[in-house]
Amino acid sequence: MKGVLIFSAPSGSGKTTILKRIFDKYPRMFGFSISATNRPARPGEEDGKDYYFLSDELMKEKIDRGDFLEWEEVYQGRYYGTLRSELDRIWSEGKVVVFDVDVKGGVNIKRMLKDNAFSIFIMPPGVEELENRLRLRGTETEESIKERISRARMELSMACNFDKVILNDDLQEAVKTVEETILQQMEKWNVKFETNL
Ligand code: ADP
Ligand code: 5GP
């Protein structure tokens, strides 16, 4: 089994921003597992790229059928799940699988895959800064920001379950630490890495 990387963080911590920088640098190495969700697409998001956007009915059907490696009702009525078929899709491309999942999902996948997975928690500098970033991102309603902040408090207490916690205060520094950590892990797994630079 090839290695699997898990990234989790409270919403607004900067996980997407960090991952984008890393994957732009190593496009041939990593394959993002595309999750399925029944939340509506945000402007600019594409079906089959950012998520598989499913109707409530189809999401429930897939849950009942056992199509997901794990799934969570991350926010009320909003389900997110990792499709088992994503692992084979990405491995068949010869890439390392990357999961970008909520904190509970991250802990669950690590529990299932054990040493075949390495889990990273992206830590925000504080709850106030998290709220700031969510506001500045401009994608959430006031209600959604409140829900994300209240969930963040629970999620922060789960950081100790991850293999590595990386603080995202200075973005540049966080990206560098994430990159170094991943490359170290790749060496342990004996996975060759190539950059496009
Ligand atoms: P997540 O994927 O964890 O929900 P995002 O990557 O969308 O978070 O980041 C949330 C917002 O915070 C974005 O607007 C992003 O540009 C900003 N951001 C990310 N990292 C930092 C940082 N180190 N300092 C300040 N703002 C940041
Ligand atoms: P967003 O709505 O901001 O895209 O995502 C909300 C949360 O759902 C994020 O914390 C994200 O990591 C998480 N998430 C995305 N896909 C999955 C998944 O497949 N499983 C789980 N458990 N969480 C996911």
Helix ranges (DSSP H) in 2-71: 15-25, 56-65
Q: Is residue 53 over pLDDT 50?
A: yes
Q: Is residue 1 over pLDDT 70?
A: no
| 60 Cα: distance to centroid of ligand 1 (angstroms) | 31
Categorize the per-residue pLDDT at 3 as very low, low, confident or very high, splitting at 50, 70 and 90: confident
Residues near ligand 1 (Cβ within 6 A): 9, 11-17, 133, 136-137, 168, 171
pLDDT average, residue stretch 183-190? 90
Atom of ligand 2 nearest to the CA of 35: 19
Contacts 24+ apart (CB under 8 A), 136-145: 137/12, 139/42, 144/75
pLDDT (tens digit, 9 = 90+) per residue, 111-154? 999 999 999 999 999 999 999 999 999 989 999 999 999 999 99
Q: What share of the chain has pLDDT > 90, as a percent?
A: 82
| 112 Cα: distance to centroid of ligand 1 (angstroms) | 29
65 in a structural domain: yes
63 in a structural domain: yes
User: In terms of residue numbers, what domain contains 89?
Assistant: 4-188
Convert 88-112 to b/e letters by CB count within 10 Å (16 or more is b): eebeeeebbbbbbbbbbbbbbbbee
91 in a structural domain: yes
In terms of pTM, does the model score above 0.85?
yes
Mean pLDDT (the chain, rounded): 93
What is residue 94's predicted lDDT score, i.e. its pLDDT?
87
pLDDT average, residue stretch 46-51? 95
Count CA within 13 A, CB hemisphere, residue 147: 11
| 197 Cα: distance to centroid of ligand 2 (angstroms) | 30
Q: Is residue 181 over pLDDT 60?
A: yes
Atom of ligand 2 nearest to the CA of 105: 22
Q: Is residue 52 over pLDDT 90?
A: yes
| 61 Cα: distance to centroid of ligand 1 (angstroms) | 33
Pocket perturbation via mutation, ligand 1, pick of 11, 17, 149 by most ligand atoms within 8 A of CB: 17
Categorize the per-residue pLDDT at 197 as very low, low, confident or very high, splitting at 50, 70 and 90: very low
61 in a structural domain: yes
CATH number where 90 lies: 3.40.50.300
194 in a structural domain: no
195 in a structural domain: no
53 in a structural domain: yes
pLDDT (tens digit, 9 = 90+) per residue, 5-47? 999 999 999 999 999 999 899 888 899 999 999 999 988 999 9
74 in a structural domain: yes
pLDDT (tens digit, 9 = 90+) per residue, 72-82? 998 889 999 99
Measured from the alpha carbon of residue 99, the closest ligand is 2
Atom of ligand 1 nearest to the CA of 138: 14
Largest CA distance in the chain: 46
Domain count across the chain: 1
